[in-house]
Amino acid sequence: MRIGRALVAAGVVAAGVRVAHSRTRRFLHPDGRSFTGELEVWGLGAPTGAALLDRPGRHPVTLRISRGAGTPPGYPDVLGVAVRVHGPVAGRRHDLLFSTAGRGRWTRHLPAPRFEFDTLYGSLLPYRTGTGRKLYLAVQPDLYARALGRTLESVVAAARHDGARLMLTAATGSGPLRPAGRIHFGQVLPAGIDAALAFDPVRNVPADLHPTGLIHASRAPAYRLGQRWRGARPAEPDQAAVARTATHG
């Protein structure tokens, strides 16, 4: 009985510490590194209805790679990749968020802990394009690039050697992922810039490539609340984007 109470007490203390830290750090994906970068797009061959994928080109990006729960190095965690596309094709900005996931027809929709950063990161839920088409997006290792390794420091080292890259891929329905572009890591950004970044994959998206479903829409308030809680500047309010996400499941 005493052991049980001790475990509960320890859990409460740990949760309290995490909440206290979240006033200055992200509650989810607290440990990460941000980089400048470039997204090179060649598309899927056939039109998708999304300008980002249908117009071959190069776009500046800000990207962040992170550990979801902030577990110590050597332990599995749900890892994440966040990509902010800049430039005319993105409108104001276009945020794409990916988490480590399975590779199967159903498991690609479920987050999966991983040891290494050289793995598959998926959007978990599909995106809808301007023509109504549904696409599942993912990023995965470039087999010809330098390995990212198991730690954030090894990712930084790969980027400094100009060898860190990820492939942007997409699938229709339950079909296979096909390469549509490549993400090149640039310079690592200072910790202050990393802390100030506030990604929002619901509001910071163009109308022709946006997330779908009630699960995505229900997370929209959490993004703004969490970012305000830690002192970051959230995305501008956009009820139309939230409604579009909720109604286009």
Look at 167 and 161; give whichever has higher pLDDT.
167
CATH of the domain at 183: 2.40.180.10
For 42-80, write each residue's pLDDT tens digit. Answer: 999 999 999 999 999 999 999 999 998 888 878 999 999
Long-range contacts of the stretch 82-85 (C-beta < 8 A, 24+): 82/29, 82/197, 82/199, 83/37, 83/39, 83/139, 83/183, 84/197, 84/199, 84/204, 85/39, 85/52, 85/59, 85/60, 85/61
**Residue 202 covered by a domain:** yes
Helix pair angle (214-229, 239-247), 10° resolution: 150
Give the structural domain span for 221.
28-247
DSSP class of 148: -
**Residue 8 covered by a domain:** no
Q: What tokens were used for 79?
A: 């890892």
Say yes or no to pLDDT of 22 above 60: no
70 vs 15, 21, 116, CA distance in Å?
A: 13, 12, 14
**Residue 180 covered by a domain:** yes
Other CB atoms within 10 Å distance of the CB of residue 12: 10
Between CA 57 and CA 241 the distance in angstroms is: 26
What would the mean pLDDT of 3-23 be, rounded to a whole number? 37
Identify the pLDDT of residue 211.
87
- Structure confidence at residue 147 as a pLDDT band (50, 70, 90): very high
Average pLDDT of the chain?
Answer: 82
Q: How many domains does the chain have?
A: 1
**Residue 89 covered by a domain:** yes
**Residue 93 covered by a domain:** yes
**Residue 17 covered by a domain:** no
**Residue 147 covered by a domain:** yes
**Residue 59 covered by a domain:** yes
DSSP class of 132: S
For 99-122, write each residue's pLDDT tens digit. Answer: 999 988 889 989 999 999 999 999
